A and B are shown apart, each in its own frame.
Chain A
Amino acid sequence: SAVISQKPSRDICQRGTSLTIQCQVDSQVTMMFWYRQQPGQSLTLIATANQGSEATYESGFVIDKFPISRPNLTFSTLTVSNLSPEDSSIYLCSVTGTGDYEQYFGPGTRLTVT
């Protein structure tokens, strides 16, 4: 499976600021996804990052709050804007593998908003 890295691994941010998270894959992948995992909870899909077009957002997530870029087949960014303490979560990117609909996850970014 592909090797996935995320930057930063963790950050502490002030309320009202923004954080941009990078996801880098060591090979070209068709699909990239961004998830949020709140403390003690399961994974919630934020959006599918589409190469060359606007991301596809899940219900409850909007582009103004979570802008996503995907300039090529190996890289994507997720920005969490206008941070509030409720945004404190782990943010994960994932990519599809060779099997039908398999997804592999990056190491995650732990965000704490103060």
Chain B
Amino acid sequence: QKEVEQNSGPLSVPEGAIASLNCTYSDRGSQSFFWYRQYSGKSPELIMSIYSNGDKEDGRFTAQLNKASQYVSLLIRDSQPSDSATYLCAVNQRGNNRLAFGKGNQVVVIP
């Protein structure tokens, strides 16, 4: 079982719609969870961090964490063409400082 899994294929959403991305992780003791946005040809940019169960909102982004089910999700409301990017889920491994990354989900917002 992979440490962090993002299984959805490319996601196409119309402008103004909600994009929903999911991520599952294997280490039940993981404590810190992150979403990165990566534009083509650029390095990953941290957009959300979440540490406790529930929802965390920041502008048009909402991160949701459910430790019992070992998943973390990202919602992008009112999607804009500038949101077109690959979104990477990252999980901190218990007991050390390393992050494990999922393979990423490409989001394409269609005007």
Contacts and interface: CB of A to CB of B under 8 A. Distances in A.
B46 A103 contact: yes
Contact of A42 (B51, B88, B92): B88
Contacts of B98: 33, 45, 48, 58
Contacts of B100: 45
30 contacts: A31-B97, A41-B103, A42-B102, A43-B88, A44-B101, A45-B100, A48-B97, A48-B98, A90-B43, A92-B43, A96-B97, A97-B46, A99-B49, A100-B32, A100-B51, A100-B92, A101-B31, A101-B34, A101-B99, A102-B32, A103-B34, A104-B46, A105-B43, A105-B44, A105-B45, A106-B43, A107-B42, A107-B43, A108-B42, A108-B43
Contacts of A96: 97
How big is chain A's contact interface, by range? Answer: 20 to 34
Contacts, number: 53
How big is chain B's contact interface, by range? Answer: 20 to 34
A103 B101 contact: no
Given A107-B43, A108-B43, A42 B31 contact: no
